[in-house]
Structure 1
Amino acid sequence: MSDLELCYLPATEALAAFRNGSLSPVELLNAQLARIAEIGSDINAFSFLYADDAIAAAREAERRYRRGEKVRPLEGIPVAIKDESLIAGKITTFGSLIFKEEVASVTSPVNEHLINAGAVIMGRTTTPEFSCAGFTHSRLWGVTRNPWNREFTTGGSSGGSAAALAAGFTTLASGSDIGGSIRIPASACGLVGYKPPYGRNADLAPFGFDFYNHPGPLARSVADCILMQNVMSGPHPLDVVSLRPKIEIANQFADLKSKRIAYSIDLGFKQVSEDVRKNTLDAIGRLRDMGAEVVEVDLGWTLSAEDAARDYLASIFGTWVAQYLDTHGDELSGYTRSFAQSARAKGMREYLRSLELAGEMYGTFGPMMENFDAFICPTLALPAVSADFEPSNGLQINGQDVEPMLGWLMTHPFNTLSRCPVVSVPSGRAPSGVPTGIQIVGKTYCDQDVLSIALAYEAEIGAWYGSDQRRPMLG
């Protein structure tokens, strides 16, 4: 197996190779570190690399396999961690100059689960400042670029994680999703990204109490996504909203001949580019070919869905960011300052209205889902914005002005409906080379349903990174 094939080897296959002795964790890690050294600066996916620590951990995993010891679920698998969740003793910058030397004293629950499962933590991945944008650039770390076309963004806010996976720099990567921050980069980079239902994956306060917030996995295959989600999930003593009991998602393929799937191309209120529309309809056609009954539905949603997300995000998240305006305003990126200032202009009336709008949205979505097994829509309304996108410059889709932070995202309604599981999977590529994605949305807390459909769809389409022709041209 070549070094490039190692770099893109699925975690499930790597674990099998570790067990039978045909591959060692050190060989896998070294191939990825060599690739980062060769082309990593072109992509800018990492804020920190922990090469020495990772090599030591890989060697220990190698010894466990050689001795025939009991191995853990992710023993020896390289994992990149978003530079937002905490690892005790390591700097977590949140993509901000304010925290550039801030060493964490605790470890976030999902990172604790990953470390305890034997993951080799190889580094930290870039984010926009405070993870408050759907693109990834910051004053601290610069611009992170899409491996498929470096003129475009990876998406955000888990953009470094997505770039690292698409470029073959890591085997698995973590993300978090407060408005689409796992699914946005999954779509833009041609990956699988999973937003679990609220409470499934634990987090620390205050964001553990924010029902828009969902830590979760990014991967190059559905099976790898399930593997990582099964490790990340489960209750934690520091998170009172974390769900009991822990569930295990099976690698169980759905029989689509028995499934009814609803879909909407534009959610009733979004401008959607022709590239995204075409690829979404192609994906829906494949699902029909597989035997599913696929029905277009009208959710009755309007642009007020954007208002709901904008006002809610201002309440907890925006207030948290705004606390730095007075003391560190000159250190903030422009988009961060704008977000913080807009949050200060809102109050409890807007927060209350966001909850009323959430109820109205679920008032149509919930009853509709009683007649369907899943709902599908695009993940993004256009393949991606530019790598150095500045919202202050505005944005158009189909010649129409859209709100530049949320207008091109089709993810935020399912943070509003936070108990619905959502997986984003690739739907194709645009002429620019940038991938597009679809979201598969399930009934509340029905994780298995959406991931089983995703497994069946992936099997029909073929492994998204399974050959040179299906990987970005780099190096």
Structure 2
Amino acid sequence: MNISSSTDERFAWASVSELTRGYASGAFTPLEVAESLLARIARLNGRVNAVVDLAPERTLAMARASTRRWQGYAPLSALDGVPVTIKDLSAIAGWPRWRGGLAADDSPMPEDTPAVARLREAGAVFLGRTATPEGGAKVVTRSPRYGETLNPYDIGRTAGGSSGGAAAALAMGVGPLALGSDGAGSLRIPASHCNVVGVKPGFGRVPAFPPDTDLPHSVVGPMARSVADASAMLEILSRPEPRDPFAWPVPHAAPDLEAGLAGLRIAFSARLGCTAPLVDPEVDALVARAVPLLEGAGAEVTQDDPVWPVDPHGPFAVFWRAACAESLRAVPEGARALVDPLIRAVAAEAGDIDLARYQQAVADRLALAAAARAFFNRHDLLVGPVMPVPAYPAGRDVPEGFGETDWRWCPYTYPWNMTGQPALSVPVGFTAAGLPVGVQIIAAMGQEAVMLRAARAIERAAPLYRQIPPAAL
């Protein structure tokens, strides 16, 4: 890709490797890149409301330090000097963390969350923090603190959530990398809506501390405009963390993404074994495009559906309600009226969850995980939809005709949070209205590398995925 020489366009669409080659050759510096992207945020962010907290002096200090390392031929890693945004659910030492809510104070966080620490140790430059719905509890990005994040491909529509700020920032050319999180689809949903890559690592792949009580649902992971950049970021994020009792001892090793898919057994499922109350034939047709693309890379693709022992929505609804109730309980009673109304409504629905019902949900989750394991004894990967519809109009939490606390309409992402398996969204095409659609790839535990190779095969063969959104022009 040729990097334009115009003001804040110069580095807008640069990949990780393009940036680091430029740093190594002396063609430009991390400081120049950071200054350019901060100018881009100032010019364009108001169109979509993606980046919600900036600390330019800290950003530029990190960029100056990286510039000195590159000039001294001593970069810390392949991400040294590379700009990254951080979703406002991850703690950054010295920065406040509001989690999208009004009840949080402005006290600076005492230490980085592990993923942020790994990025800092690698020399990445923190551009700013991106919007999230309060507590990450929506499939759109709208919060009492930040308002709504809009879709760069159609600013009348949602960017998705809960990592919608991260996805929209990438689509707008604000850095090549973003740190997001996923408790029910929060990396994959906005990635699908915004034409970027979102990777939910397997539970334990990316360390976390303190451990989320919503185990194994919630994980932190990379978002990027390309599979290669997401893979490079995952390699850094998965480095060891001694405090996390569930962290894997072996980090992700970036695979050869050009190795092809010969010998891989891939299952395609149009519904991923789930009940689908909402169907869009145009989305279905775009997702099905993945089959010939994967076959063209050498894979053997067959039609096969997971068979779930229980409807995944049943246990998921219990866990989601319990998580919202716990989130509300953590807020001082006098400040609870400030909490997002959706969280309060879902927490109220948790009142009928007794111990027996919760334990049954745990048993159901274990049964789902066992069924997924059995499925992946027969297949290397599973491919299907991320969302049943493209991005819908802004101002709504859910599509028209569905209740705001009801997740039945989008059943394709949260089962894999309950099973703990890795899953990602990669762009596959656009609707006639110009809205992006992603395809979901799911792998067995520990097989992120195989999953990323398949994503790269789709990315390589889908020619329109780099289409720049109107809001970024």
State the TM-score, normalized to the length of structure 2.
Answer: 0.92
Contact 1:149 1:432 in 2 (8 A): no
Where do residues 361-380 of structure 1 align in structure 2 (5 Å cutoff)? 361-380=368-387
Structure 2 CA distance for aligned equivalents of residues 328 and 165 of structure 1: 34
**CA gap 1:289/1:195 in 2 versus in 1, 3 angstroms:** same
Q: Give the counterpart of 1:324 among 322, 331, 334.
A: 331
Code of the aligned partner of 2:449? Q
**Is 1:61 the counterpart of 2:66 in the alignment?**
yes
Amino acid at match of 2:9: L
Q: 1:388 aligns with which of 395, 398, 409?
A: 395
| Contact 1:208/1:239, CA 8 A, preserved across alignment | no
Paired residue for 2:424?
A: 423
Identify if the C-alpha distance between structure 1 residues 103 and 473 changes in structure 2 by more than 3 Å, giving closer, same or farther: closer
Deviation per residue, 1:233-267 (Å, 9 max, x gap):
13312211111132322233343232221021112
> Residues 263-274 of structure 1: matches in 2 within 5 Å?
263-268=268-273, 269-270=275-276, 271-274=278-281
**Kept in 2: contact 1:442–1:450 (CA 8 A):** yes
Shift of 1:63: 1.9
Cα RMSD between the aligned structures? 2.2
Q: Find the counterpart in structure 1 of residue 298 from structure 2.
A: 291
Between the aligned partners of 1:180 and 1:325, the Cα distance in structure 2 is 29
Structure 1 stretches of 4+ with a deviation exceeding 6 A read none
Counterpart AA for 1:330: A
Indicate how the Cα distance of structure 1 residues 135 and 229 shifts in structure 2: closer, same or farther if over 3 A, else same.
Answer: same
Within-5 A mapping of 1:398-413: 404-413=406-415
Q: Does the CA-based 8 Å contact 1:322-1:340 persist in structure 2?
A: no
Instruction: Give secondary structure in 2 for the equivalent of 1:215.
Output: strand
Equivalent of 1:162 in 163, 167, 179: 167
Q: Which amino acid aligns with 1:447?
A: E
The structure-2 alpha-carbon separation of the partners of 1:19 and 1:208, relative to structure 1 and needing over 3 Å to count, comes to farther
| Whole-Å separation in 2 of the counterparts to 1:234 and 1:373 | 25
How far off its partner does 1:67 sit?
Answer: 2.4
Asked whether 1:262 is paired with 2:267, we answer: yes
Q: Contact (CA 8 Å) 2:429, 2:462: kept in 1 or not? A: no
1:210–1:362 Cα change, 3 Å: closer
- The 1:340–1:315 alpha-carbon spacing in structure 2 relative to 1, beyond 3 Å, is closer
Amino acid at match of 1:307: G
CA–CA distance in structure 2, aligned partners of residues 193 and 138 of structure 1: 21
Task: Tell me which amino acid in the other structure corresponds to 1:146.
Answer: N
Q: How many residues align?
A: 466
Kindly tell me: are residues 374 and 5 of structure 1, through their superposed partners in 2, closer, same or farther at Cα, counting changes over 3 Å?
Answer: farther
**Whole-angstrom CA distance in 2 between matches of 1:6 and 1:303:** 48
Q: Is the 8 A contact 1:95 1:127 kept in 2?
A: yes
Q: Once the two structures are superposed, what CA deviation does each residue of 1:296-318 show, in whole Å capped at 9, x if it has no partner? A: 11323388211121112333454
Amino acid at match of 1:459: R
CA contact (8 A) 2:310 2:364 kept: no
Number of the residue aligned with 1:433: 434
Residue equivalent to 2:307: 300
One-letter amino acid matched to 1:474: A
C-alpha separation between the residues in 1 aligned to 2:154 and 2:93? 35
User: Residue 312 of structure 2 aligns to a residue in which SS?
Assistant: helix
CA contact (8 A) 1:93 1:102 kept: no
Structure 2 residue aligned with 1:212 = 217
Question: Is 2:386–2:425's contact at 8 Å kept on the other side of the alignment?
Answer: yes
2:446 matched to which residue of 1? 445
Q: 1:394 to 1:471 in 2, by over 3 A?
A: closer
Structure 2 residue corresponding to 1:171, chosen from 164, 176, 186: 176
d(CA) in 2 for partners of 1:148, 1:302:
39
Write the distance in 2 (CA, Å) between the matches of 1:4 and 1:428: 24
- 2: CA distance, partners of 1:6 / 1:462: 22
Kindly tell me: are residues 115 and 406 of structure 1, through their superposed partners in 2, closer, same or farther at Cα, counting changes over 3 Å?
Answer: farther
Instruction: Tell me how far 1:411 sits from its aligned partner.
Output: 0.7
C-alpha distance in 2 between matches for 1:354 and 1:471 = 42
1:46 is displaced (CA, Å) by 1.5
Question: Which amino acid letter does the alignment assign opposite residue 47 of structure 1?
Answer: V
Q: Which moved more, 1:273-282 or 1:205-214?
A: 205-214
Aligned twin of 2:365: 358
Deviations 1:367-392 (A, max 9, x none): 2221211001111111123322135x
* Structure 1 segment 48-127 matched on structure 2, within 5 A: 48-127=53-132
Residue number in structure 2 paired with 1:33? 38
- Match of residue 249 from structure 1: 254
Tell me the TM-score normalized by structure 1. Answer: 0.92
Change (3 A) 1:65 1:42: same
The amino acid of 1:284's aligned partner reads V
Which residue identity does 1:361 align to in structure 2? L
Cα 1:297–1:318 shift into 2, 3 Å: farther
Instruction: Name the CA shift for 1:447/1:474 in 2 (closer, same or farther; >3 Å).
Output: closer
Deviates more, 1:456-465 or 1:73-82: 456-465
What corresponds to 1:14 in structure 2?
Answer: 19
In 2, Cα distance between equivalents of 1:425 and 1:28: 26
Query: Matched residues in 1 for 2:440 and 2:430: separation?
Result: 15
Partner secondary structure for residue 232 of structure 2: helix
Which residue of the partner structure matches residue 183 of structure 1? 188
- Separation in 2 of the partners of 1:209 and 1:242? 15
C-alpha separation in 1, matches of 2:217 and 2:37: 33
Distance 1:6 1:136 in 2: 26
How far, CA to CA, are the matches of 1:102 and 1:132 in structure 2? Answer: 23
Aligned to 1:43: 48
TM superposition shift of 1:463: 7.8
In 2 relative to 1, CA 403–137 (structure 1 residues): closer, same or farther, beyond 3 Å? Answer: closer
State the secondary structure of the residue aligned to 1:121: strand
- The alpha-carbon distance between structure 1 residues 463 and 60, as it changes in their structure 2 partners (threshold 3 A), is farther
CA contact (8 A) 1:254 1:455 kept: no
Q: Which amino acid aligns with 1:414?
A: W
Whole-Å separation in 2 of the counterparts to 1:153 and 1:302:
33
* SS across alignment from 1:176: strand
Letter in 2 for 1:278: A
Does structure 1 conserve the Cα–Cα contact (< 8 Å) formed by 2:372 and 2:419?
Answer: no
The alpha-carbon deviation at position 106 of structure 1 amounts to: 2.0
